[in-house]
């Protein structure tokens, strides 16, 4: 009895400890949530501080439990919504409390080239209106310098430097590893330039992919150089970027010295010296603060300057991130969620037109079509639809764009990539090394397929490739109808090739250059609205915060996805067969008695084993999924 009481006390102590930990985590997250709320009443005279500690994105991901725990820590990175950054800078122009704009770029992790061009244009407008802009970083690279170039004064830490890498670089190729492991990557694709599958079928880049990449990156690099040189003509940028080793060696390895000599920066000084300089311009901060100058908090300023609501509403729907099925996000372009937002806006019958802001490399063809069909419902209600492309609107992103009456892009927008693919692995070679083989009885050529143990049959490979080709045909027809071309013409500029915005305009894939403001103006014009008599109504999803730690990690997902065509059928079957094999092996090892069990009978009855499957089983099953793009 003494042992039982001790064991009981031990179990109760464990339970109490877990409850205490859960309560501490809850209140820590609640404190972080409440303390992170912006205070629009706290704005005072000073410098608008853009301490961009993170990345600039089109649509920030939904906050998680871990995000709020981390938000109370210093230097925790975050995602900044592009339109909020631009709006904050523009709002500072007519605000007398804003004496200057300070860019702290030491922890800036970057953003898309088009997005940074938009921010730079806003900085130019503020500077032209008389707002001085001061930039500081301990080290500058391409993205941070693209913003800093728009500053009145650029400061650099004496122990820092500048390096321009330019777009491009290497990617990993897994063909050698796949062969060594004995894994077969069953690849189905259409498009000479559809290079997304090359890492699984080659050990290097194909000549076609290299040609497309060189053309694209060359345009992006030239555009970057032109933008920076225009705003900072005295800087010696291209010679330094073309031969950095010589410049650095000549300066004895002192990168800060190179930056000063080549007029890339204006002053050398540490953060303290920079803060004191800004304080001389905007006033000294007498209260305890991380900065010695009077500063205006970015979040407070955004909260104090909401978007104008005058005039008629033009709905703005955002398709940002990888396009997937379901209702997840934001941060992922979930077709179910986005379609629901569109239908809800149509039911409310308040918007006069619709702007679709796309910043997506694509994803599921089925999900892309679901979004397109929702947009067609808006067309049935005679609503004009104007597409605004951001940094990238390619593949599935362009699929969605075909619903637009008019398509805007920027010269540096990455678009096109009209092509599709699917990848499903099988393990016949790897398992054969361990003596695992497959055999059985088939009633049709597809019984037991896809066979991840014995390899896919020729019939299945033919069917899957035909399904991918059919999807490509649908894609080409959509583009041809939307852009007034023949399928043959679209196939010529398709084949999975990626284009820059300038070339896309020449090819007729877009209608003109412009950003979100141009798209809103075009939508208003098509809706018969007078200039200035409209405002954007962003159809953003409701912010959903998950209090469950690690929510959204693949191996704890419980939702089931609908079958989306022959590839979806094969993927679902593959996961089910693999999960069944794991469950059978696990069951045989766990059972300790003589069994009166029909394994063949169990194999013929579809079952949902999620309730009994462990997280490791679900992780393995998830890892073998594939999405056509």
Q: 144 an active-site residue?
A: no
* CA dist., res. 159 & res. 350, Å (int): 56
Question: CA angle, 277 as apex, 272 and 283 as ends, to 5°?
Answer: 105
Of the residues 213, 395, 417, 626, only one is catalytic, namely 395
Of the candidates 358, 385, 625, the one whose C-alpha atom is nearest the C-alpha of residue 515 is 358
Of the residues 131, 194, 485, 575, only one is catalytic, namely 194
CB atoms within 10 A of CB 139: 18
Distances (CA, A) of 139 to 143, 205, 541: 11, 32, 36
DSSP lists the bridge partners of residue 47 as 100, 295
Q: What is the dihedral of CA 25, 57, 210, 200, to 10 degrees?
A: 30
Please enumerate, as own/partner, the contacts of 285-292 that have beta carbons within 8 Å and a separation of 24 or more: 285/46, 291/49
* CA dist., res. 571 & res. 561, Å (int): 11
* CA dist., res. 488 & res. 465, Å (int): 20
| Cα 33–chain centre separation | 24
CB 185 within 8 A of CB 178: yes
CB 171 within 8 A of CB 267: no
* CA dist., res. 221 & res. 218, Å (int): 5
Q: 229 an active-site residue?
A: no
Interacting residues of 212 by C-beta distance below 8 A, sequence separation 6+? 193, 195, 497, 498
* CA dist., res. 126 & res. 120, Å (int): 10
Helix (H) or strand (E) holding 194: none
Token couple for 8: 């009981």
Distances (CA, A) of 25 to 22, 143, 230: 5, 36, 51
CB atoms within 10 A of CB 4: 8
Token couple for 589: 């090892």
Token couple for 500: 């820059």
Q: List, as one string, the DSSP characters of 55-102.
A: EEESSPPPP-HHHHHHHTSTT--EEEEHHHHHHHHHHHTT-TTEEEEE
CB 10 within 8 A of CB 17: no
| DSSP conformation class of 493 | H
First to last CA, the chain: 64
Give the catalytic positions in this structure.
194, 395
């Amino acid at each position: 009895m003494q042992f039982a009481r001790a064991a009981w006390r031990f179990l109760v102590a464990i339970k109490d400890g877990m409850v205490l930990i859960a309560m501490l985590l809850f209140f820590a997250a609640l404190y972080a949530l409440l303390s992170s709320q912006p205070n629009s009443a706290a704005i005072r005279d000073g410098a608008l501080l853009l301490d961009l500690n993170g990345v600039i994105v089109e649509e920030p991901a939904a906050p998680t439990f871990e995000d709020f725990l981390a938000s109370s820590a210093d230097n925790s990175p975050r995602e900044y919504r592009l339109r909020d950054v631009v709006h904050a800078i523009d709002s500072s122009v007519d605000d007398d409390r804003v004496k200057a704009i300070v860019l702290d770029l030491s922890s800036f992790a970057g953003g898309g080239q088009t997005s940074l061009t938009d921010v730079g244009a806003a900085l130019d407008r503020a500077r032209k209106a008389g707002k001085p802009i001061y930039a500081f970083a301990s080290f500058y690279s391409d993205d941070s310098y693209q913003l800093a170039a728009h500053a009145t004064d650029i400061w650099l830490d004496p122990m820092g430097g500048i390096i321009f890498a330019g777009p491009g670089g290497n990617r990993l190729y897994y063909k050698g590893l796949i062969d060594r492991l004995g894994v077969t990557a069953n690849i189905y694709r259409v498009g000479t330039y559809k290079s997304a599958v090359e890492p699984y079928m080659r050990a290097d880049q194909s000549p076609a992919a290299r040609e497309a990449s060189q053309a694209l990156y060359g345009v992006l690099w030239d555009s970057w150089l032109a933008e920076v040189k225009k705003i900072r003509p005295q800087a010696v940028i291209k010679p330094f970027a073309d031969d950095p080793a010589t410049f650095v060696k000549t300066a004895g390895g002192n990168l800060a010295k190179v930056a000063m000599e080549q007029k890339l920066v204006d002053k050398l000084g540490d953060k303290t010296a920079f803060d004191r300089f800004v304080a001389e311009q905007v006033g000294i901060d007498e209260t305890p603060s991380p900065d010695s100058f009077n500063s205006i908090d970015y979040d407070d300023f955004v909260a104090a300057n909401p978007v104008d609501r005058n005039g008629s509403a033009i709905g703005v729907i955002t398709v940002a991130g990888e396009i997937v099925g379901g209702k997840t996000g934001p941060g992922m372009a979930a077709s179910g969620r986005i379609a629901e937002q569109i239908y809800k806006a149509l039911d409310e019958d308040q918007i006069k037109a619709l702007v679709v802001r796309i910043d997506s490399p694509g994803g599921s063809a089925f999900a892309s079509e679901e979004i397109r069909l929702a947009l067609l419902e808006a067309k049935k209600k005679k609503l004009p639809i104007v597409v605004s492309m951001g940094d990238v609107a390619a593949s599935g992103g362009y699929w969605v764009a075909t619903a637009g009456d008019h398509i805007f892009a920027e010269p540096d927008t990455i678009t096109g990539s009209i092509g599709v693919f699917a990848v499903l692995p099988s393990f016949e070679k790897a398992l054969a090394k361990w003596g695992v083989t497959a055999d059985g009885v088939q009633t049709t050529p597809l019984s037991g397929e896809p066979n991840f143990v014995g390899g896919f049959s020729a019939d299945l490979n033919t069917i899957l490739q035909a399904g991918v080709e059919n999807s490509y045909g649908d894609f080409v027809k959509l583009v041809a109808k939307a852009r007034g071309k023949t399928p043959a013409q679209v196939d010529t500029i398709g084949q999975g090739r990626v284009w820059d915005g300038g070339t896309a305009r020449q090819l007729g894939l877009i209608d003109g250059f412009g950003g979100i403001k141009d798209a809103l103006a075009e939508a208003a014009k098509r809706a018969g609205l007078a200039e200035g008599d409209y405002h954007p109504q962003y159809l953003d999803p409701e912010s959903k915060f998950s209090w469950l730690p690690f929510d959204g990690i693949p191996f704890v997902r419980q939702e089931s996805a609908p079958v989306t065509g022959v590839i979806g059928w094969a993927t679902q079957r593959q996961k089910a067969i693999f999960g069944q094999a794991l469950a059978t092996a696990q069951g045989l090892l766990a059972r300790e008695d003589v069994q009166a069990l029909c394994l063949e009978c169990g194999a013929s009855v579809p079952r949902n084993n999620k309730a009994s499957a462990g997280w490791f089983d679900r992780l393995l099953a998830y890892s073998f999924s594939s999405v056509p793009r």
